[in-house]
Every structure is written in structure tokens, then in C-alpha cells.
Amino acid sequence: MLAAVEFEADIQEVSGRSENRGPSVILRIVCFLFGISFIAAGIGLWMVPGLFLDGGIILTKAILSILLCAAGVGMTQISIERPLRELHFDRRFQQVYLVEATPRGPAQVLKVFDYENISKVDVTETDIVLVGQFDQTLTTVPIESRRVREELIEQLRSDPILV
């Protein structure tokens, strides 16, 4: 029981956060430029001639180019990484959680909607829309594929949210 109370307290704290999260535009541009620079440096390292091409120099060049290219790929991944939003339906507490996760970070609950505050759920070809009282849009989440859309419709048919 104590764990459930702490879980609900954590959700209420997190649900007040802003929906616009993730790296800023400036940080994404800087990460992209540094990533491309590191990749170019890793490749360009092999274009620099050396006086001697013994095993130690070739091994050093190989290790440095691998490290630079790996750092470049990591930096470009940060720049193009976008958070993924999902809706989680909790039958036990009769709530819908708007969850945001990045591929490298933990998932966080952005908002919590009670079933009683949701009057309608619209599922289109591209997104799902939770509509509240007085026809106000509570949230809109994009749908990635047709299979996900079909699974979502099946889940909504079996869930008491539409009852």
C-alpha cells in the first residue's frame, strides 16, 4: 500500500512538468556539427602521411580513428534523437499516463488523465486524440504504424474507458 501511495505521489510531481522537453535547438546544432567534425577527423587521420608506417603508428591511427568516429556517431545521435510519446492505460487505477522516453534516457510520466475526465478517444490514421469535457483536446499522440493503430483499437475496445 505504501508503494502505491509513493508511486501516485511521484506521478503527481512529474505530471506538472512541461510537455516540450528534450535538447534545445542550439544544443542539437552544436552536437551535429561536432559529430560531423569528429567523423571527418577520424577519416581524415588516414590521409595524413607518415614518415614511417610501422605497426605502432598504424595501430595508433586505427585506435584514434575508431574513437573519433565513435564519438562522432554518438554526437550525431544526440542531435537527431527525438523523444517518443506513448499512452499507457492503467485499468487498476483507471488512469491514462502520457509517457515520454528517449532511447538513452528513462521514461517519464508527463501527464495523468483520469478515465472520468475523458469523454471521447479519437483514433485517426496518424494519431490518437484524447478529448475531455466540453470538447477540449487533452493530448494528441502520433501513431507510428498501421499495426500499432490496430493494436490500439483492440485495446480500447476491451478497456472500460469507453464504457
Segments of the chain scoring below 50 in pLDDT:
1-5, 7, 9-20, 163
The number of domains in the chain is 2
Regarding whether 144 and 92 lie in a shared domain, the answer is yes
pLDDT at position 19, please?
Answer: 44
pLDDT at position 37, please?
Answer: 96
- The answer to whether position 12 is within a domain reads no
State the residue range of the domain holding 153: 83-162
pTM of the model: 0.55
Q: Are 99 and 84 in contact (CB under 8 A)?
A: no
- The answer to whether position 49 is within a domain reads yes
- The answer to whether position 36 is within a domain reads yes
Regarding whether 158 and 91 lie in a shared domain, the answer is yes
The angle at the Cα of 111, spanning 26 to 81, to the nearest 5 degrees, equals: 30
pLDDT at position 149, please?
Answer: 83
pLDDT at position 49, please?
Answer: 78
- The answer to whether position 128 is within a domain reads yes
Regarding whether 102 and 41 lie in a shared domain, the answer is no
- The answer to whether position 103 is within a domain reads yes
- What CA–CA distances, in Å, run from 4 to 17, 42, 54, 109, 153? 21, 51, 64, 15, 29
Regarding whether 156 and 101 lie in a shared domain, the answer is yes
Q: Are 116 and 95 in contact (CB under 8 A)?
A: no
